[in-house]
Structures are given as C-alpha cells and as structure tokens.
Amino acid sequence: MGGLRSIAAPFVASGPSGVAVRARLKHLTPGEAEVLRLIGGHLGSLASKDLKARCRDGLEHSAEAWAVRKRELTPLSSSRWAGSITKATHDQWALARHCQLTHIENLAAGVRTIEHRLSAPVGQKGTKKAAGGYRSQREWHAKSRRLRVLQERLTAARADCEAGIVHVVRGGKQLARTRHHLDEAGLTECVWRGRWEAERWFCQADGESGKRYGNETIRITPDGEVSIKLPAPLTHLANAPHGRYVLACRIVLIPPTPTLPIEAALAHGVIGVDMNADHVAAWRLDVHGNPTGSPRRFFYDLTGSAHHRDAQVRHALTRLLHWAQACGVKAIAVEDLDFTAEKTREKHGRKKRFRQLISGMPTGRQRARLASMADQTGIAVIAVHPAYTSRWGAQHWQKPLTSMTRTTTRHDAAAVAIGRRAQQHPIRRRTAPPPPHRSDAVGHRTVQADRRVPGREETRPRIPGPRTRSVGAGRGANAGNQNVQHRPGRSAEHEFWQQDSPPLSP
C-alpha cells in the first residue's frame, strides 16, 4: 500500500460566483447597437496598447509602472475603465506566463522520455515503471531527430521565460491563423475582419464594494435596466445624466444558490458520474452506498463545430440533471480530473488512438457546465479524487452488478466507485472480517448498511435463475422432494422404510 497515491477528501464544488456575467442582449435598436460597437472598439484599442506596454515591461513590471499606465488611460476613458483595462491586461499576461511554464514542463518531460528510450537497446521491452527501447532502428533514428527539435524548442522557450517574453494575441491565435486559410475555413475577408474586430473589443467591468448595484461602470438594476458609463470621447452619445447610456432592453439575472454542506447534500443519496469521451455513465446510490436501479448513460457527439460540441455537452448534462431531480437526489459526484499533462506523444508513444481519446474528453468544459447548470437546479456537485476509481470499480463492482439481463461496463462500475468515494465509503464491497473471530462481536462486518438499519440480518432474497450449468434450484422434475432420488447420504425420514429380503444361500 505504500506505493498508492494519496486520496484527497471529497468536497462540494462551488457554483458560479456571479461576478462575471456574459449573455446576449436581445431586441437592441440600431442606435444602441452602434453605440455598443463604438464603446467596444474604442476600449479595445486602448486594451491593445496597454497589453503591448505590459509585455514590453516584462519582468521589470512594478506597481509604479502600473499606476503610470492607468493614469495614461484615464483621460481617454475614465478612472474605472482604466482600472478594468489594466486588470484585464495583467490577467491575460499572467495566463500567458502560466501557459509558457506549462509548455516548458511538457517539453522537458518529452526530452527526458526520448533520451531514456534512445539510451535503451532497440527492441527492449518496457515495464510498468519505465518505457523500453524503440522497436526498430528506423524509429530510433526518427526519434533522435525529434529529440533535436524538442531541445531547440525547449532552449528557445526557456530563453523567453528568463527574459520575461510572452506571446499573446488579442483575438486569439486560431482566428489570426485563419486569416491565411480563408478558403479552407469557408470565410471571406470581410466576414473574417468582422469577427476579428469583434473578438478584440473590450467592454467589461469589475465589481466595486459599497457602490450602488455593485458597479458604477456597467450598472444593472434589480428590474434589469442596463446603463453604461461612456468613455470620455463618447460622452456626447449619452442619453442619461452624468455621461451614461441606458439601454431600452431588460436583462434577467438568476440569483446565486447557497452552497450546501456535504452532509446535507448526501442526505438523499448521490449519483456517481463517470465522464468519458463520448458519453456520461451514471448510477444512483442510496445513503449506504448501495447502487439502486439500473445505470444510465447519456451520449453526446463531439464532432463538428464548436457550437455543436457545446450543445451536445449541454444536452447530455441537462438529461442527467433532469434524471437526478426525478430521483430526488440532491448531489452528483464527479471526478476532479484533468488530462492537461497526460496527453503528450512522448508519454504514450504509439498509442495514437488513446492520445486522441483523452485529448477529446471535455473534462474542464463538462465540470464548468455541470457546476453552473446544477446551481440553478439546487443540486450540489461533489468533486472526488480520481485515483483508482476505474480500476477498483471494475475489480469490486463490475462482476457483482452484471446479470443475465444487464451488462455492466467499466464505466458503470467506475460511477459506483465515484459515488461511494463521495460518501466517504470504501470502494470495496465488504470490509475484512473482525480480527478475533468471524462474528459481529467486534463490529458489523459489512459496510453496506448501518448497524441500526432494521432487517439487515434477514435472509437474502432468492436470486431467480440457475446458479450452475445444471438444472437450477426449484426447476427440476423432482424439485418438490429431492429425497426420492435415493442418493447416498440423503435422509430417509420422510420415506417408507422396508428391509430387503436376505440373499439365498448357495
């Protein structure tokens, strides 16, 4: 047991905090749309200039430099808009810096793996703890060339990291690269230009404590009225006092749901959920950790456009939440899982299909979607440690839950293991017998039911169907009285006894 990973305790995942709201504004007039377009374009140009200044500072950035940039932006917008722009700039630079460090770690891991496999003899078999050599001299030569490429990339990335240089594109690298492949993307230059400018707009504000309705820049009243503080060059467009522009449309914000304690969330059982590349496997567990009913699977297709994939995930999670509401369960258990550092080519070698599988699993997207959608239904999401759930679930639950009418997969068994871990039950179906003797003198032997549950010691219900390949119990011609078969060792207390005649002497 010393080699097993430590398993963290389950916890209730927090729902959306509500400080960031993104939604579509419907029923805008042409004038309102034009004003919003001017605001986004003007503030977006200021954000681009501020990001350029922040990247130029690099590691030499300080609080004084931040204050100087904010003072330069204030006359062109306002003090609050300047604060929002500079804060967004710092967040974007920090995210790029984090991605740079992660990229360096992945390159270093790839270099170490290839160097180890190149040092091993060609054809040497690998073990569970270390990879073996390459299968042929041709593959060895190809990997040696790839090693040089990775080493050059690693050297360049480390040089940028030490110099404080990060690579950031406002609007996204993917959209920027699409500009050179418009025919393949099916876009015209005009359409691409519209998307590019829209992605580079800036119109966001941070909450302010003690301010009316929580913000002075973008204010949303309880009845859904939206008013925006116009930047200084656009104050002539104001339709309200103090340089504000009020939209005619109304929006509706959903109030946040308070987070339940884990004990209260598990009071009515839990639904264990195993997220996979093409479906979500779920199984309901009662308060004692027993799987009840049949497993459920909610499939989705992650091919096609991004909007199609997102809609597929939302539809599967909606069906899951509707089923949880119908069952009366107030908690859903999921794995706190991420494959960010586990999908490199060097780690999994020729397992291309496996790398594509784990790369396509939308774990982060599913967790974020599930947390936000479950928050509106009053269902808590419990995150559990993902260690050994699939392996132990298949070991302890797949075979017992398989019957003649139901085939239990590894994913279904993993869902049971996830649910039991959320309830802080061991994944094993039964604990070891008491140390002194095989009785209940030390404690109840099973973890399936509490000692105070009535009827726990009753006889188990008869499982219909044959238990062996021969005729099942209660199904033979002489099922009513097995003693009529006159087998050796059978009792004859219910038969008529008669002594046979003695044999004749010769």
Binning pLDDT at 50, 70 and 90, where does residue 15 land? low
Which phi and psi angles does 417 have, rounded to 5°?
A: -65, -40
Adjacent-strand bridge partners of 331:
380
How many Cβ atoms sit within 10 Å of the Cβ of residue 43? 24
pLDDT of residue 12: 84
Q: Where are the domains of the chain?
A: 24-168+205-250, 262-422
**Rounded to whole angstroms, how far apart are CA atoms 198 and 193?**
9
Helical H segments across 293-395, by residue range:
306-327, 345-348, 352-360, 363-377, 389-393
DSSP, residue by residue, 390-408: HHHHIIIIITTT--SS-PP
**Rounded to whole angstroms, how far apart are CA atoms 200 and 196?**
6
- pLDDT digit string, tens, across residues 439-471: 555 555 555 555 566 655 555 556 566 555 555
Q: Report CA torsion sign: 296, 303, 306, 172.
A: positive
Q: Are 90 and 83 in contact (CB under 8 A)?
A: no
Q: Are 39 and 28 in contact (CB under 8 A)?
A: no
- pLDDT digit string, tens, across residues 388-410: 999 999 999 999 899 888 999 99
Adjacent-strand bridge partners of 284:
271, 292
Q: Are 315 and 302 in contact (CB under 8 A)?
A: no
Q: Are 117 and 143 in contact (CB under 8 A)?
A: yes
pLDDT of residue 49: 95
**Rounded to whole angstroms, how far apart are CA atoms 139 and 1?**
38
Domain 262-422, architecture per CATH: 2-Layer Sandwich (3.30)
* Percent above pLDDT 90 for the chain: 49
Question: Region 65-88: what's the mean pLDDT?
Answer: 93
How many Cβ atoms sit within 10 Å of the Cβ of residue 304? 10
How many Cβ atoms sit within 10 Å of the Cβ of residue 315? 13
Query: Which tokens belong to 67?
Result: 């204050």
**Rounded to whole angstroms, how far apart are CA atoms 81 and 136?**
61
**Rounded to whole angstroms, how far apart are CA atoms 110 and 117?**
11
Strand order in the sheet with 11-13: 11-13, 380-384, 331-335, 270-275, 279-285, 291-299
Binning pLDDT at 50, 70 and 90, where does residue 181 land? very high
Between 261 and 93, the higher pLDDT residue: 93
- pLDDT digit string, tens, across residues 49-72: 999 999 999 998 899 999 999 999
- From residue 307, alpha-carbon distances to 23, 38, 154, 251 in Å are 15, 27, 35, 23
